[in-house]
Amino acid sequence: MISIAPVLISALVAYPGFTDRPMDSNGWIRFMPEADTRIHYVSASGNNSTAKYYLRSDAAVGADPYNPVGPVQAYATLASALTAVRSGYGDWVLLKRGDTWYTTMTRYPNGKSVSQPFLLGAYGQGPRPVLKAGTSSFCAMWTSWSYAAFVGLYIYAHSRDPN
């Protein structure tokens, strides 16, 4: 089990093969969804009862899933989005930039493969989304958790900060 406290995550991966992925000119892995990847958007102004997932081919997503071109029906909580993710598939959960959640990971879905990981990342413009875990660990990484990537997040154990 690992505990993450305060950390700015550019890319945390739970499988060493991700280092072989294509990178952009700055050396960052640029994950892109596969045709069957379900993208679950999460926003502090979302609604868990009306939220839906999107495929990369949906008009609202456009060419860049990190910056959807149309309005998306987002979840309000990370927990609800994680409940909707299929373990063993390359599903994504993207948190809205500029939003803050007081939460921990409640479910640990596996990805499908190195090319189709479960991805927890960010969408939109602005500062990275903030996940405040309080006195808990944000996530516990078990050896059975595989093909997962965290990208573009700020995870902070705010109640354990001595400052």
41-95: pLDDT as tens digits: 999 999 999 999 999 999 999 999 999 999 999 999 999 999 999 999 999 999 9
DSSP state of 112: S
- Listed in sequence order, the residues at least 6 apart from 137 whose beta carbon sits closer than 8 Å to its beta carbon are 1, 2, 3, 4, 104, 157
**What per-residue confidence (pLDDT) applies to 57?**
96
Q: Is the Cβ–Cβ distance between 127 and 100 less than 8 Å?
A: no
Q: What is the pTM of this model?
A: 0.83
Q: Give pLDDT tens digits for 104-133.
A: 666 678 899 888 999 999 999 999 999 887
Q: How many domains does the chain have?
A: 1
Does residue 1 lie in a domain region? no
Q: Which residue has the higher pLDDT, 12 or 100?
A: 100
Does residue 2 lie in a domain region? no
Does residue 20 lie in a domain region? yes
The range of the structural domain enclosing residue 14 comes to: 7-160
pLDDT at 8 over 50: no
Kindly report the backbone phi and psi dihedral angles of residue 130, in degrees, each rounded to the nearest multiple of 5, phi listed first: -105, 130
